[in-house]
Amino acid sequence: MVRRACRAWCEGDISVYREMYVPDVIAEGGGLWPEGDGPEQGADVVIATLESIMAAFERSELIPEAIHEDGEALVTEMLWRGVLPGVDTPIEQRLVSAYRFRDGLIAYQGWFTDLAQAAAAVGVELADGAPPQS
């Protein structure tokens, strides 16, 4: 599902996210979120925020680099790359997205700059065996 979401982002059409989110999905991005620190709720609200991010760039892509699964949760280390209109040089940022699932759909999604924080947000134990830090 994460790879499908990243492909949709790269193609510039995230309408498929409606099929991936539970209707009352919760999303938060802290300092990475354009609307501030607070979480947003509802598929339409979350998708509108993500579309506003996409609209600021001529093109952008999300590239999953590592996925850490643990039951109904997973954490994905990603490379985000975007190109602003009229600029040739892309902006790159490493980020980590954390997911919690319900009935096979995304019920929670959060964006973080730190792997340990993302893992703690959804209770994923990292491969090194260390429990997530809160």
Question: Per residue in 34-63, pLDDT tens?
Answer: 655 678 899 999 999 899 889 999 999 999
Tell me if 128 is assigned to some domain.
no
Q: Tell me the residue range of the domain where 62 lies.
A: 2-122
The answer to whether the beta carbons of residues 4 and 105 sit under 8 Å apart is no
The answer to whether the beta carbons of residues 78 and 6 sit under 8 Å apart is yes
Average pLDDT value for residue range 55-78: 94
What CATH code is carried by the domain that includes residue 49? 3.10.450.50
Distance separating alpha carbons of residues 33 and 75, to the nearest angstrom: 18
Instruction: Provide, rounded to the nearest whole percent, the portion of the chain with pLDDT above 90.
Output: 77
- Tell me how long the chain is: 134
Angstrom distances, CA of residue 28 to CA of 47, 58, 97, 110 = 12, 24, 10, 5
Q: How many domains, in total, are found in the chain?
A: 1
CA 2, distance to chain mean position in Å, is 9
pTM given for the model = 0.86
Instruction: Give the gyration radius of the chain's Cα atoms.
Output: 14
Tell me if 133 is assigned to some domain.
no
